[in-house]
Structure 1
Amino acid sequence: MTEEDAKAWIRDRFGAVGEGRMAELARIVVDEASRQNLIAPSTLDAIWARHIVDSAQLIGLADDVEGDWLDIGTGAGFPGLVVAALTARRTILVEPRKRRVEFLQSAAGALGIADRVEVVCGKVETVNIPVAVISARAVAQLSSLFASAVQCSRRRTLWILPKGRTAREEVAVAEQTWHGVFHVEHSITDPESLIVLAKGVSRR
């Protein structure tokens, strides 16, 4: 997917307003990247495909789920800020690094979405807020993610976890200690990358 393809994908699904918000987010991230290592420098020139669309595709996977969205280890705002900017959901961004927390708060204000974005400075283990959706992008193994955030999950909570090419192996390991209904989807930005969807997650 080229950068122009990625912009068109956002425009087709979220309109000119959505595209404009993503353009502003891209500008903010690239600008801040000169001061702190938000995303891999090699991906700055492909930010629309590698980060924006890669995050925005997760929204469609939760179309039939209503309620708050919790994003673990939000970092540069992917997918947390993307979800908040492209939907009306209340979004909780959990990030342990103070400089990134300050960046996320500033970015939410600049995007005009601060009223529905809560940024928590700390680890998700300290958060106990029931939510409808939990996401985490390039944070930890499935078993570790479930252990760290299960207190925020309810029976119908949908976990959306991009896992690259190791998804099926991680599901197999997680099933040894966790109950749940697991499904794997292909990423639209990289056909070899996979996204794990899980519901009914609980300890065995």
Structure 2
Amino acid sequence: MKPEEWRAVDVSRETQVRLEAYVQALLKWSQTINLVAKSTHSDIWNRHILDSAQLFTHAPPKFRRWCDMGSGGGLPGMVVAILSKEQNPDASFTLIESDARKAAFLATISRDLDLPVTVRRARLEEADPANADIVSARALAPLPLLLSYCHRHMAAGGIALLPKGRNHAQEVEAAQQSWHFDYVTRPSQADPDSTILIVRDLRPLDI
């Protein structure tokens, strides 16, 4: 997918300009810090932007707070913040990232693009709970551990949007040994081997 093909997706010209500026910054900073793998640069619109943007289509309308955990280069958090700026302007975003250089990138690009983003440089298990309506994480941790982060940062009644690979069924089975949760799966638009888990009603089994 190229930028001109992305324009066929239902976004405004202003949103498209922000996405393109973000991609250019992501590629530029990736020359010195590891934000996205070099092997994916030529397919960045499909591998990273579409893969992140599709989560926004599964978000409840008029959500107020979104927390992206282990945000790295802002995938998916920065992408959904860009999409939300016009479509859900009252929403705010918290991006939690422990790496100082990656956090600096996130703070810089959110300021440059005038996005309602707060960057927290902290470990997920140590950061103050985000109390978010939606939590997300991409390529962060196996599901049993990932759900512990979700539980810390998700508000009561919130949901988690979690892209997972072809082994998602095994991860769900492992997570069910220590967590209660309801979930549905949705196919990825970017990768036929991937799935989006939509998790609700998350709580430890001993509660």
Report the TM range for the smaller structure's normalisation: over 0.9
Bigger share in helix: 1
| 1:97 alignment partner in structure 2 | 99
Q: CA deviation at 1:136?
A: 0.2
Structure 2 residue matching 1:39: 3-state secondary structure: coil
User: Residue type matched to 1:56 in 2?
Assistant: A
What whole-Å deviation, never above 9, does each CA across 1:117-169 have from its counterpart, x for those lacking one? 11010111122121100000000011101113412223411100001112111
Aligned CA distance change for structure 1 residues 6 and 139 (closer, same or farther; 3 Å):
farther
Q: Is the 8 A contact 2:68 2:93 kept in 1?
A: yes
User: Residue type matched to 1:105 in 2?
Assistant: A
Aligned CA distance change for structure 1 residues 109 and 184 (closer, same or farther; 3 Å):
same
Q: CA deviation at 1:65?
A: 5.9
| TM-score normalised per structure 2 | 0.91
Structure 2 residue matching 1:104: 3-state secondary structure: helix
| TM-score normalised per structure 1 | 0.92
**Separation in 2, partners of 1:51, 1:129:** 24
Q: Which runs of 5+ in 1 are unaligned?
A: none
| 2:6 alignment partner in structure 1 | 7
Q: Which runs of 5+ in 2 are unaligned?
A: none
Matches within 5 A, 1:42-191: 42-64=39-61, 66-87=63-84, 88=89, 89-113=91-115, 116-126=116-126, 127-191=128-192
Q: Is the 8 A contact 2:150 2:160 kept in 1?
A: no
**Separation in 1, partners of 2:48, 2:66:** 18
Q: Is the 8 A contact 1:21 1:111 kept in 2?
A: yes
Q: CA deviation at 1:5?
A: 7.1
Number of aligned residue pairs: 199
Once superposed, which parts of structure 1, at least 4 consecutive aligned residues long, lie more than 4 Å away? none
